[in-house]
A and B are shown apart, each in its own frame.
Chain A
Amino acid sequence: MTPRRIMIVDDDESVRSLLRMTLAEDEYEIDEATDGEDALRLLERAVPDLVLLDWKMPERHGSLVLDELKRRHPQLPVIVLTAEIAEHHRSLAEALNVDVFLTKPFSPLELLETIERLLVEHPLDEAS
């Protein structure tokens, strides 16, 4: 089975580590970006099957990255992970067509189920 490509975009190494460990090595290829610029650079090289996106990042905020990701690849599934508690962040993400908006702390196993569900809904080569 072809491994699916997941892009992790988070400035926090410990969160990237948690997400890396959540995704089984033999089932997913992982690209890691430490900020929005990095993510958009990686996107030029290879379009992932799904993106895990931090919301509060220095330089380019997650909302700007989400907007750009969805502008370039409208069908690309994006899961936003955030510590924000204000409801307007969710509303903004939904307005930008986020697929799933998760608040921290989140369950890695539930996240994995969500990823698998989204990948089934977006089969290979349809993300872009």
Chain B
Amino acid sequence: MASHTQRPEPQRPDDQLSSLAHELKTPLAVIAGFAELLAVRDDERTRREATAQIMVATERLANALDDLLKGIAAEQGDLAGRLAGTVADGRRARSAGQAE
């Protein structure tokens, strides 16, 4: 009997590449862009907004890289590589260390 459960459509390679480019390059653009603004502007508003947005974008980029690395590791069947020291884990550990 056919299942009526809705399953998400698998992404075509072109769509996957497009999503990956978007996930990686958008936060990179935010980090690089605000860094450039910080280099030429010295007002409090720019400093505050740039700092907040760079931190959010860095976290987002780290998570996107983790997903990418886990995907590659899964494709290679490398369980150890998939679970060991991810970028975001490293960032979280460093943040926790700084907070102490």
> A residues bordering B, Cβ < 8 Å?
12, 14-15, 17-18, 21-22, 56, 83-86, 103-109
Contacts and interface: CB of A to CB of B under 8 A. Distances in A.
Interface residues of B, number: 27
A85 B26 CA distance: 12
Given A21-B46, A109-B36, A14 B30 contact: yes
Contacts, number: 65
A14 B60 CA distance: 11
Interface of B: 14, 17-18, 21-22, 24-34, 36-37, 40, 45-46, 49-50, 53, 56-57, 60
A103 B29 CA distance: 9
A38 to B, nearest CB: 19
A44 to B, nearest CB: 28
Given A22-B37, A85-B17, A85-B21, A105 B32 contact: yes
B30 A107 contact: no
Contacts of B36: 107-109
A39 to B, nearest CB: 18
Contact of A14 (B27, B32, B37): B27
